[in-house]
Chains A and B, each alone.
Chain A
Amino acid sequence: MNFEVNGAKIYYLIHTGIPVLGDLPITETLVVSWVVMLIITGLCIFLTRNLQVENISKRQAVAEMIVEAANNLVRSNTGGTKFDWLIPLVAAIFSTSIVSNLICLLGVRSPTADLSTEAAWAVIVFIIITACKIKAGGIGGYLKGFTQPIPLLTPFNILSEFSTPVSMACRHFGNILSGIVIDGLIYAALAIASSALFGLIPGAVGNVLSQIPILDVGIPAILGVYFDWFTGCMQAFIFSMLTIMYIANAAEG
């Protein structure tokens, strides 16, 4: 029995003729990303329907709770309301990440199982970090920061600067990909175990039953609690937290 993990499927290839970028592939990543965006936006619209100042519905209470939680998370980690502009970005990253991570439970491939997605987010965060650093200390201060504490360390400082987005992207991607790989392995292993176990039953019954991966029912779901649910929520939270911390640190100079 062969087991393999593939990259995202390419549904359609649009010929653009643009050099470097090449043809535009409509991949599973992109399609599921749009589905994720639709889900999040639909949820936002659903939650904020018919808002009241007093006597609020449960739906509105949930929406307010989410907004308050996002406000509190950002404010408590940056100390004050100076970084309120960051709240929607963190909320967008967190919600996209968590819905993307958990959508694999519906049987489609998570957009976060494609390094391009995390790289895109990490690059945005990196640009904001750099912008905050330049804003805090000026271009001179920013460049001078690389030679601290001694000029000898400049290459390492530059490396460390670029390792921030790389580590952020790879951490998230690695965790989600490992979840997919482990899930796949468990399915394959359980199918083999199932076939071997029920093959012990003699006669036609054993022949039929050994063809059905019975052990694949239920057991992967239990393991999925950790590899899909926990990792998915955790990585979304870690990515959001790191975004807040890095940007808050950068703005403080």
Chain B
Amino acid sequence: MGTQELVGIVPWTFIFQICNLFIQLWLIKKFLFKPINEVLEKRRQLTDNELKGAREAKAKAEEMKKEYETSLSSAQAEAADIVANAQKDAINKADTIVKEAEKQAAGLISRAEADIEQEKKKAINEAKDTIGGLAMDIAGKVVEKEINENDHKKLIDEFINNVGEAS
């Protein structure tokens, strides 16, 4: 078993080493670069997709937020409207009630006054009649003579009127 020279190119070894490098190139490509690059590419796609999904979800969420905000503000406005309307209604109603009550009270008062007036008149008339009768009786008793009814009446009325004015 000999040895080749220390420094020198052996043609066959040279050719074999060229082939070896190309075989190694092919092997490393097939067993390392191809599968790993595939995985890296897959992962890149996955991340891209996830990023895209996240962006879409974010946009959607923002849209929904805007929508909610709009609807919330409109709801608030509506609520304020409702409250204002209710307040107005309440005020109106209260006013009406108060007015009605006042009217009723006024009616009651006037009626009471009218009643009082009527009663007064009635009382006066009654008093007049009673007094008239009384006076006639008294006069009859005093005069002891029948006087003409009509003359009497006139006389009595005059008397009562005088009494009323004097009283």
Contact = CB atoms under 8 A, between A and B. Distances in A.
Query: Do A and B come together as binding partners?
Result: yes
Interface of A: 5-11, 20-25, 27, 29-30, 33-34, 37, 40-41, 44-45, 47-48, 51-54, 60, 63-64, 66-68, 70, 87-89, 91-93, 95-96, 111, 114-117, 119-121, 123-124, 173, 177
B24 A40 contact: yes
Contacts of B29: 88
Contacts of A21: 11-12, 15
Contact of B42 (A44, A45, A53, A66): A53
Contacts of B24: 37, 40-41, 92, 95-96
Interface residues of B, number: 39
Interface of B is mostly: helix
A196 B133 CA distance: 183
A120 B27 contact: no
B43 A53 contact: yes
Interface of A is mostly: helix
A131 B13 CA distance: 24
B4 A124 contact: no
Given A48-B31, A67-B40, A92-B21, A9 B13 contact: no
Contact of A116 (B17, B39, B40, B42): B17
Contacts of A92: 21, 24-25, 28
Interface of B: 1-18, 20-25, 27-29, 31-33, 35-40, 42-43, 46
Given A67-B32, A96-B21, 19 more contacts: A7-B6, A8-B3, A22-B11, A24-B12, A30-B13, A30-B16, A41-B27, A44-B32, A51-B35, A54-B46, A64-B36, A64-B39, A66-B36, A91-B28, A91-B33, A92-B28, A114-B4, A121-B17, A177-B7
